[in-house]
Structure 1
């Protein structure tokens, strides 16, 4: 970008800027991740800067910015870094001297955008567009849209959905081809109960990124949302965002709340069950899959997971998973690995009768009758009604 050099009197400037809240790490997989920056950053207050002219100040701002890009790791730009602080202060000095200079206004806005100082980026792009009207979809408008996106995400995580929706809508005004803003605008519409708008916006986002399965998933949810109601739908969407952000306990609570609010919400039950199994909460998984099985649409995977949860609630999910892996080895013909797995399952939970029974079987088939008798004996002691184990226990004791 060329910076015009215009003479001016000596400038002595103190640029005092209040830092706006910026976005925290991302939630949903249906959009690009917002830039990471802590909320509640202290005020940015550069030291006084003196330049001979506005043009000199702008040139210094460009010089500091270029040096910052060479000095700091790629993607780490932050207003607290000394060179970026100097770049911003110099840009402020240039604009203060010549408030109507479009080049200086743009340079300042670009610096704040690059360092992720989103509130100031919003303000400075607005100042630039008063001089040079925004062209939707242009490079400048896209950068202004990025600031709106990050401010929208920050509002979303602060549970200010109306404010977030306004930011995402403004992002789309600047950048109609932004799939991330269309996706988040759709999400806020969905959580706000405006299901028709949510479907339209999800359709727009999908047209921009047709391979995004999460967008397709949520468009389907928007189409069914009226059957579940805004409370359940909002809780589900928030839970999904928590899951994407790694807040698994919060996500589980959200999916559970959605399912309990709308017991016909099969996906809420299913997501709660999958997540509960993942984090090792067998009782929560059992409740969730019981909710799934009670509804039309339950499939073989749901039934499998229900059985896993039932057994896991009794013996512990770790023991059950070890047992099932060993059973898979057995059916694949790897009896040695199967025996080791069954033995690990019994060590994980010594009261796991079925694991003892299968340990007995693998030993019996290997003609390890003493070992088989030991394992079958434990199985029968734990489950006196296990007639098969009792039968093979007698054979193993007889060595045949």
Structure 2
């Protein structure tokens, strides 16, 4: 932030003091941009209390921070000061006391607007230097006895209307509250003003309430495809996606000479990460959840997209199968990509038959276990998200098929963060 420099013995001029105010205004604007983001509008305080006796509300003290011009009019006295400065600067406007605002009528939805502008106020008859008689000051400029404003006040006036009214150059209008007034209402008893998006959480609120709530709230579980809206306070989202588990291999033999013992299906991949989101772009999180594979089929892919871009993806585990008439190796787990915490490949399914040797073709466990075990005359289905189905061994009659167990579907979990 700029600061004025003065020197001993130098003759002060009006701009020496005026530029201190300009530097301060610019510095406060830069700080507001750091807190809220450049060009943002923010309101603090300005409580809205509807009347229980008539159609009016009381607006409390508070401030609005909004982008406007540095100075729409000359800043300083006649023949000096600074020329108008149309540079866009984030400005702070203040309401210092309770203000009553009348609602024009009932039977409509009204918006309570704050009109932010600067005015030169507090006229005072100032002493001026008298060149003709330095020992005697003049009362006002040219000794005219007229007062001059000594303060440029950035204030707020309020109006309730169904649409935004026009405002003068250099002013800005901000929608603060909306009120739905029933027909024939004679007071605002029981009516609450709905605050607009300009009321941001304070830093202490974010640190002690929103943040703690966000990090302590369990992640939401999604088992089917869905579109998820982003809450106004969120800037990030934590996501974890699990692919669907693959199905186990079937059996068609009662002898080790044939396809006797099938391998287990692989578990789905597992991707986890935290991503930035923006509440102003209207985007949604589009969630797809992978299905569990049936006998010898791969599981489906789980993924999350945002504004058309895939954030992270977990592919389904492969289905168990026989690579030869009497050979069945465990199915591969699904791959994962896009996670910035981790990308884990799903667990392999257990091996089944390898010639005359037989193994336990259990399904691959998902993150929470649940792989289906191998089973006589049919593999067992998986029981937890992303796990693979068990392989089958033996069949009732040679040449008939006993099916492998089904894989369990994947899932998506999410949690929004400040």
TM-score, normalising length: structure 2: 0.28
Greater relative contact order structure (CA < 8 Å, 6+ sep): 2
Is the radius of gyration larger for structure 1 or structure 2? 2
From the two aligned structures, give the one with the greater helix fraction. Answer: 1
TM-score, normalising length: structure 1: 0.29
